[in-house]
Structure 1
Amino acid sequence: MSPIWPAIPYPPWRETCSALHLYAQMIGKYRFARAPWQNHSWQATLYVNARGFTTSLVPDEPSGVEITLDLVDHAVVGAATDGRMARFALGPMSVADFHAHFLRLLGELGATPALHGRPNEVPDAVPFVEDRAERPYDRDAVSRFFRASVLADRVLKRFRTGFLGKASPVHLFWGSFDLAVTRFSGRAAPMHPGGIHALPDDVTREAYSHEVSSAGFWPGGGPIDYPAFYSYAYPAPAGFAEAHVEPEGAFYSKELGEFLLPYHAVRQAADPEAALMAFLESTYRAAADLGGWNVSALECAIGEPRQPRALQALGEQKEQR
């Protein structure tokens, strides 16, 4: 059992996780309301930083605002480019109370205190201002989840370096509350049928406009009661569900239509990072090989510090195109 990868069983902190998910949604919705649209809704996401999850710099008055969901000191912290700062503590409260605190913080920063008022991608969504049930806040569970997210983010970023084609940043989608990284084949995909709960079909279809192999990490919820890593392809090529993937413990979920690797299987591995990389590489390989991706033009060795890509290798790949 790795002493570095913390235990994060989902059931004991289910209610805290649900609350944290909604808090991240409000922070993400502020960025979404202010940032110009990017391909695949990348302008809406949050990112792992040294304290928790951040919006990065959001264009707003006077010229920019950054919001951090600080999971070290357990606070929401805002900073404006004119030097103003504001914060409020995380703790037991209602979603409505968090909403009021957050809008007040934006006002203190001179920012625009406006965001879409209903959660996305959650069942039985209640508008934030009407969600007055008291929510717990398990500080220890939040801290462990943050440490797990930092480790997952590091491996996902390393995995991303082995691809020369279009690839997303590693970012947190607050709708589904998962860290994700996506590789693209470069070809257009069939129109997505839509139908994702509480997500407009035009957003879904723009997100899946091109063929993808996507992987990530989420803490649990919905159809699974444990934290897990996942990997899927859109469109899924023939034979994808039956593909052999690694490491032991990974499996294909027919219910979800994707491969899963339970977090505890990574944590119990002799080399957790190697086990997770094996999952990411083997599931991507199934998507790319079965989907007929032009892998010789898209792939490269995993990046290493201070080592530029070999010009000869890049030249060979250009010739193959």
Structure 2
Amino acid sequence: MSTTGRVTGVDVWPELPYGEWNDTLETLHMVTQIVGKVRLSLTPLEPQWANVPLYLTARGLTTTPMASGPVTFQVDIDLIDHQVLITTNEGEIRRVPLTARPVAAFYADFMSSLRGLGIATRFVPSPSEVSDPIPFAEDTVHSAYDPDWANRFFRVLSQADLVLKDHRSRFRGRTSPVHFFWGTFDLANSRFSGRPVDPPPNAGIIQRLGADAEQICAGFWPGSR
């Protein structure tokens, strides 16, 4: 499905009632987790997990370029034509459709496409920062995908991205880019004071590495159960 034509002022911020699209949201969340874990596994660790997020494009979300051996590639989640694209610096491209099918089926096709391009990656093959995680290869629970709702989410996310970039531009200190955290499924920008902090002694690895500097965050999150 392609979403074509100019959007009107009403369409710029379309309604996104959680209860009407949460099934699609949960499937799309798993897709972003799979793509994001590839980025996590193949990029150098940065403070506050800055190497982990995805970034907005004019069509969806992207990993930005990364490398696996001699191959430089990126993964794009296209929420207009509803597909995940893997493109390489050698001119090759693979397309994995986003349709109403189990996450397990998407995961199998996506990993097969990576292997077909000579891309090797290793990561924990189950979602992070969610309750009751199901390994991707076994996830037949999340299978809903409505292209219209996915595109509505993208349009809202695109506008939130612009608002947060304007917000970010006014701060002269250290600040993160506006980026999309696939673990928590939110768009965020952080401002840092320059002072370190000690995470709680019982903090997990995500908080230990992400909350070791004094910061304040602003962002957009579509909700959860």
In structure 2, the partner of 1:118 is: 126
- Normalising by structure 2, we get a TM-score of 0.92
* Offset of residue 114 of structure 1: 3.4
Task: Find the counterpart in structure 2 of residue 206 from structure 1.
Answer: 209
CA distance in 2, matches of 1:14, 1:110: 35
Structure 2: how far apart are the matches of 1:91 and 1:163? 41
Is contact 1:86-1:105 (8 Å) kept? yes
Q: CA deviation at 1:2?
A: 4.8
- DSSP 3-state at the match of 1:15: helix
Q: Residue 22 of structure 1 contacts residue 95 of structure 1 at CA under 8 Å; is this kept in 2? A: yes
Structure number, greater radius of gyration: 1
- Superposition pairs for residues 277-296 of structure 1, below 5 Å? none
Q: Distance in 1 between matches of 2:12 and 2:106?
A: 32
RMSD: 1.5
| Aligned CA distance change for structure 1 residues 3 and 136 (closer, same or farther; 3 Å) | closer
1:136 pairs with one of 140, 144, 158: 144
Match of residue 89, structure 1, among 88, 91, 97 = 97
The one of the two structures with greater contact order (alpha-carbon pairs below 8 A, sep at least 6) is 2
Q: CA deviation at 1:13?
A: 0.8
Please report the TM-score for the alignment, with normalisation by the length of structure 1.
0.65
Paired residue secondary structure (1:135): coil
User: Taking structure 1 as reference, are residues 194 and 76 closer, same or farther at Cα in structure 2, changes over 3 Å only?
Assistant: farther
Cα 1:191/1:150, change in 2 over 3 Å: same
CA distance in 2, matches of 1:110, 1:192: 41
Q: 1:217 aligns with which of 214, 217, 220?
A: 220
1:46 pairs with 2:54: yes
For 1:77 and 1:103, locate their aligned partners in 2 and report how far apart those are by CA, in whole Å.
12
Which segments of 5 or more consecutive residues in structure 1 lack a partner in the other structure?
196-200, 223-321
Aligned residue pairs total: 217
> Contact 2:33–2:183 at 8 Å: present in 1 too?
yes
Counterparts in 2 of 1:25 and 1:3: CA distance versus 1, 3 Å: closer
Match of 1:177 in 2: 185
Q: Which residue of 1 aligns with 2:28?
A: 20
Task: Write the letter of the residue equivalent to 1:169.
Answer: P
CA distance, structure 2, for counterparts of residue 185 and residue 73 of structure 1: 41
Return the offset for 1:5. 1.0
State the 1:133 CA deviation.
Answer: 3.0
Query: Partner residue of 1:295?
Result: none
